[in-house]
Amino acid sequence: MKNAMNPHFKKHILCIGAGYVGGPTMAMIAHKCPDYRVTIVDINPERIAQWNSDRLPIYEPGLDEIVRSARGRNLLFSTDIEKGIQESEIIFVSVNTPTKTFGVGAGMAADLQYWEKTARQILKSATSDKIIVEKSTLPVRTARAMERILFSENNGVHFEVLSNPEFLAEGTAIRDLEAPDRVLIGSRQTEKGLEARQQLADIYANWVPQERILTTDIWSSELSKLVANAFLAQRISSINAIAALCEKTEADVSQVARAVGMDTRIGGRFLHASVGFGGSCFKKDILNLVYICRHYGLNEVANYWQGVIDINEYQQEHFVVTMLNAMFNTLAGKRICLFGFAFKADTGDTRESPAIYIARRLMEEHADLVITDPKALDNAKMDLKDSKGNVCFVDNPYEAASGCHAIAVMTEWRQFRELDYERIYRSMVKPAFIFDGRNIVDHQRLFETGFNVYPTGKPVLTHL
Ligand code: NAD
Ligand code: UGA
């Protein structure tokens, strides 16, 4: 059936929020569903201009190709939010929901101001029935608040709110969207709720197998998103806690992770010990979960999840202390090269990257920093612009490491595995150190080259 608003398309979809989630998810829908017109709007005109240019605002492998395949055909980027709302039957809300920085719940609760402004804008502009899809990650029971706002004017327009959390990970977003483990849709169990749920499921059914489209009640869907992130982060904190014990006992955390992960009940993924997890969501979503638990008086439950964050903070500080101890208890005036600044490989995103904390701490110790990263240097400059200390940003890792006393591996970029470390060693101040916060370089080989090697959760290899 073609659509009355524009007969070329079966349906019009709008996404409010053209960020890391809105951009890739909607590009994938447009790419897979040529019958649907997909418009993405944002309050930030610069971001929209970038989406309309050859240089997209985010780096994500494979994203350029799918945007190019659909842009101008059935994928549009615009700043006209009102028109977008009026012309669409299905509206995804994918605005940011950061941790609150002020007032009640500061540092813990989700800041819902962007989300609420969107709800009010939808209410103001809508002249026909809409399905509103929560794509942002939200506290459980937010759909009820959304409904309250949308139904506050009794203007004859019906709104049906669905929860459809996004599980993509940055760096693999296109792969994750193309073949998701599951698509989760939560709805009210009313006739209209189930009908709306079906309309959303029909979109995904264009490329996602039926058995991977999971439907639940709306609260379970909202909560599942927070829980999925909490479980993933918990695995990282668990292995990082064990890494610290390995360092004391000369056990090797990679071998422990392998032995433990081969138990099919546990599974081997997400057990890479590291300098700590970063990214815009794990910390914020767990803090939010902790806040909700406290709100309901579940203090023991809140403390349990808070522990996941505490270990992550410990891990970052532990990395700095290891550097300090290894380098004769002083970093003042020493040149330290950070290999990587992104919170993980294959993204330019640095939000909550452990590298930010570590860079600041090293500057507090009066170290001079040289930072290299294939995609994240622009963000790194912004992150450190107010920090006191000497820092420079260098594209080429060989130039960056030259003249340094130590290298600290912050991000698991493939490029860093493949460098000529003999050349790097020759260019560094001796004794030369490498602190591998990702366990990606060949520790034995680097040791034989002359480096003093400090892996994460493994015995150190030192000539001193
Ligand atoms: P983002 O900051 O990259 O993008 C959000 C966009 O929303 C921004 O461009 C902002 O300008 C826009 N916006 C804010 N208020 C608006 C308004 N009133 N009208 C129009 N546009 C508005 O954020 P993101 O990383 O895309 O995350 C969005 C949501 O998705 C968050 O809730 C996050 O927790 C969740 N999420 C993120 C990821 C991820 O990998 N980044 C994965 C899954 C879920
Ligand atoms: C994470 C989840 O994996 C996604 O499912 C979710 O949709 C997303 O959060 C979100 O809600 O924003 P993302 O943060 O993009 O995705 O990336 P991850 O691959 O989960 O990595 C997060 C952090 O954990 C990175 O700093 C990574 O280096 C670190 N990590 C990951 C480890 O230290 N060890 C591991 O074994 C795995």
Atom of ligand 1 nearest to the CA of 169: 40
- Domain end call among 173, 188, 208: 208
- Is the pLDDT at 396 greater than 50? The verdict is yes
Q: Which ligand is nearest to the CA of 79?
A: 1
Eight-class DSSP state of 339: E
Phi–psi pair at 280, nearest 5 degrees: -75, -10
Is residue 290, in this structure, part of any structural domain at all? yes
CA distance 390 to 367: 8
pLDDT value for 1? 43
pLDDT value for 6? 62
CA distance 204 to 199: 9
- Is the pLDDT at 3 greater than 90? The verdict is no
pLDDT value for 5? 54
The single residue listed with the structure tokens 């350029």 is: 64
Is residue 392, in this structure, part of any structural domain at all? yes
Average pLDDT over residues 99-123: 96
Q: How far is CA 212 from CA 64, 193, 209, 215, in A?
A: 26, 20, 6, 10
Same-domain check for residues 198 and 273:
no
The number of distinct structural domains making up the chain is 2
Same-domain check for residues 181 and 266:
no
Same-domain check for residues 313 and 452:
yes
Q: Is 53 exposed, middle or buried (0-12, 13-18, 19+ CB in 10 A)?
A: exposed
Q: Determine which residue's CA is closest to atom 18 belonging to ligand 1.
A: 118
Is residue 67, in this structure, part of any structural domain at all? yes
Residue 69: pLDDT band by 50, 70, 90 thresholds?
A: very high
Q: In the annotation, is 281 catalytic?
A: yes
Same-domain check for residues 275 and 153:
no
User: Among 15, 33, 246, 281, which one carries the catalytic annotation?
Assistant: 281
Total Cβ atoms within 10 A of residue 383: 19
pLDDT value for 4? 47
Mutate which of 44, 96, 135, 176 for ligand 1 pocket (most atoms within 8 A of beta carbon): 96
Cα-based angle 182, 184, 186 (whole degrees, multiple of 5): 165
What is the Cα gyration radius of the chain?
24
Tokens of 82: 């009102």
Which CATH number covers residue 70? 3.40.50.720
Same-domain check for residues 85 and 146:
yes
Phi–psi pair at 188, nearest 5 degrees: -70, 150
- Whose CA is closest to 375, among 56, 68, 69, 45? 56
- Is the pLDDT at 364 greater than 70? The verdict is yes
pLDDT value for 7? 64
pLDDT value for 26? 98
- Domain end call among 208, 236, 266: 208
Same-domain check for residues 167 and 313:
no
Same-domain check for residues 294 and 443:
yes
Same-domain check for residues 191 and 320:
no
Same-domain check for residues 307 and 160:
no
Same-domain check for residues 414 and 273:
yes
Residue 296: pLDDT band by 50, 70, 90 thresholds?
A: very high
- Whose CA is closest to 24, among 73, 58, 72? 58
Condensed to tens digits (0 to 9), the pLDDT of residues 46-66 reads: 999 999 999 999 999 999 999
Distance (angstroms) between ligand 1 centre and the Cα of 14 equals: 14
The overall average pLDDT reported for the chain is 96
Atom of ligand 1 nearest to the CA of 118: 18
Q: Determine which residue's CA is closest to atom 37 belonging to ligand 1.
A: 21
pLDDT value for 154? 83
Condensed to tens digits (0 to 9), the pLDDT of residues 10-36 reads: 999 999 999 999 999 999 999 999 999
pLDDT value for 2? 45
Q: What is the CB < 6 Å shell around ligand 2?
A: 137, 166-170, 229, 232, 236, 270-272, 274, 277-279, 281-282, 343-344
Same-domain check for residues 204 and 255:
no
**Structural contact between residues 436 and 464, judged by C-beta atoms closer than 8 angstroms:** no
Structural domain that includes position 15? 11-208
Distance (angstroms) between ligand 1 centre and the Cα of 282 equals: 14
